[in-house]
Amino acid sequence: SKTQNSFCYYSNKDNGSCYKNLPSIELENDLYMAIENNELAMFYQPQVDCENETIVGFEALMRWFHPKFGLVSPSVFIAIAEKNGLINELGRWGLQQTCKDALYFEEKCAEPMKFSFNISAKQIHQSNFIDETLSIVNSFDLKENSIELEITESSVMHNLNAVSYFLMELRKSNISIAIDDFGSGFSSLSYLQNLFVDTLKLDRSFISNADLNKKKRTIFTAIQSMAHSLNVDLVIEGVENFSQKQYLKDLGLDSIIQGYYYSKPMSLEDLEKSLFLKYSLQF
């Protein structure tokens, strides 16, 4: 619907540029009540297999519908929550909602779908983070590996010891792990040898910056072959138009594509409707 699109439009303004002048103290105060007041929602963005153009999963992205300011971008309110510690509560709520929606999907849809949820580095430092995460996921009767946790490459690099331990523990329990914004920091690739990772999500700057010239082609194919030899899935983020998608297909990549070209993040309700229309999955 029209309203939905305009929500998405605002939420996707980079760095919440529309919201620069929002009073952060007021936002912070209101964020304490956001869960209780039912102002948060999880939206889902499809991830599409490049080869056969079928949906293989979704990234869960949090949305805050503020009663006065309208939609506030997660790049604004997650940063606030990381500073004041509310991120732990938002994280629990969001993961729970994601599992609930994943289960709903699993019951309706014949294809297995992976639901991917973002974890902030701050959450990992919480002493009971692993237990809490496992108890949330295990309280839903989901198929193995239907939940994936995303952690950004920069938080991995800054917390290597804590992160390796936590990835190992989570993976024992059949939770998948993705490295988000891969390639965005100037980090050493050597950490990949020792980490238990299922998916690399290539930062969207790769596809969006500069033109897609020959040098670029070499980078994409090199990253793809590295993903192959590490035996991890590759998700390419930020594919916005047909020519970018076609460029990747012409390279012969067998990766997964996530971007506005296929879909913006949507509410569960809209997702269900649009999947039914576009892909005629069995609902």
Q: What are 14's strand-pairing partners?
A: none
Q: Is residue 199 part of the contact set for ligand C2E (CB under 6 A)?
A: no
Q: Is residue 244 part of the contact set for ligand C2E (CB under 6 A)?
A: no
**Count of residues that interact with ligand C2E, criterion CB under 6 A:** 24
Q: What are 60's strand-pairing partners?
A: 44, 117
Letter for the amino acid at 133? T
Distant-in-sequence contacts of 6-10, Cβ < 8 A, 24+ apart: 7/63, 7/71, 8/264, 8/265, 8/266, 10/70, 10/71, 10/73
Residue 57 touches which of ligand C2E, Mg ion, none (Cβ within 5-8 Å per kind) = none
What does the binding site for Mg ion look like in residue numbers (CB under 5 A)?
A: 118, 150, 180-181
8 A C-beta contact, residue 66 and residue 27: yes
Residue placing its CB nearer to Mg ion in the complex, 180 or 198: 180
Residue placing its CB nearer to ligand C2E in the complex, 246 or 282: 246
What's the Cα-to-Cα distance from 188 to each of 62, 149, 203, rounded to whole Å?
30, 22, 15
| Least spacing, CB of residue 181 vs Mg ion, in Å | 5
| Least spacing, CB of residue 255 vs Mg ion, in Å | 14
Letter for the amino acid at 2? K
Separation of alpha carbons 283 and 280, rounded Å: 8
| Least spacing, CB of residue 139 vs ligand C2E, in Å | 18
Separation of alpha carbons 274 and 268, rounded Å: 10
58: left (phi over 0), alpha (psi -120 to 50) or beta: beta
Residue placing its CB nearer to Mg ion in the complex, 93 or 276: 93
* Count helices and strands in the chain by DSSP H and E runs: 13, 9
Of 139-147, 161-169, 224-232, 237-245, the window that binds ligand C2E (rule: CB under 6 A) is 237-245
- From the list 63, 83, 66, the residue with the least C-alpha distance to 26 is 66
Q: Is residue 46 part of the contact set for ligand C2E (CB under 6 A)?
A: no
8 A C-beta contact, residue 237 and residue 203: yes
Q: What is the DSSP letter of 143?
A: P
Among 182, 234, 238, 268, binds ligand C2E (CB under 6 A): 238
| Least spacing, CB of residue 64 vs ligand C2E, in Å | 10
What mask of x and - would describe binding to ligand C2E in positions 77 to 116, judged by CB under 6 A?
A: -x---------------x----------------------
280: left (phi over 0), alpha (psi -120 to 50) or beta: left
Q: Which of residues 202-231 bind ligand C2E (CB under 6 A)?
A: 204
- From the list 8, 49, 2, the residue with the least C-alpha distance to 279 is 49
Residue placing its CB nearer to Mg ion in the complex, 118 or 176: 118
Residue placing its CB nearer to ligand C2E in the complex, 11 or 146: 11
Residue 78 touches which of Mg ion, ligand C2E, none (Cβ within 5-8 Å per kind) = ligand C2E
Binding footprint of ligand C2E on the chain (CB under 6 A): 11-12, 45, 61-62, 73-75, 78, 94, 118-120, 150, 180-181, 204, 238-240, 258-260, 265
